[in-house]
Amino acid sequence: MDLRESIRVQTDVAFSLGKHVLSTESNKANLVFSPVSIQVVLGLIAAGSKGATRDQLLSFLKSKSSEQLGSFFSELVSVVFADGSASGGPRLAMANGVWVDKSLSLKPTFKQVVDNSYKAATSAVDFQTKISNLLVHLDLVWLLFFLTYTVAVAGNRLHDPI
């Protein structure tokens, strides 16, 4: 599948996600979500899955293989999330990560996909005794994401005439 076709297919998936979320959640409260973030996480899960789980994820994401998804999301991450602020464009950020209990290890092929295709961080965590440290880390990641977003939005508005 070429890039244009992949974009069309993943846009359809994003609209399906949006339609579902808005139809079930929008009347309950204010809502902000990122279909792209959800798709990236599902693609990452598909890359580490096998059997029926992988098949269901690939079907939902309308993809023939985990490799096809990884290739598309690698392109997406490198183009869409490129820092365009130097030329007056936006700077977008997305925080993705894989946390695995320190007693386990990721398969080298999956770690390669995580690092190279999805540009996500991997961390070994002590889920048994130090879950509170992980929660603090996740809070800091969220704060960093929020600050990066705020600076990117404010930075772009500083250049725009009012």
Q: What's the pLDDT tens digit per position in 89-113?
A: 776 666 677 878 888 888 899 899 8
The CATH number linked to 151 is 3.30.497.10
How confident is the model over 32-65, as pLDDT tens digits?
778 888 888 888 889 988 899 999 999 999 999 9
Task: Using pLDDT thresholds of 50, 70 and 90, give the confidence band for residue 131.
Answer: low
- Residue 62 structural domain: 3-159
**C-beta neighbour count of 3 within 10 angstroms:** 12
Structural domains in the chain (count): 1
Average pLDDT along the chain:
76
Residues in a beta bridge with 98: 122
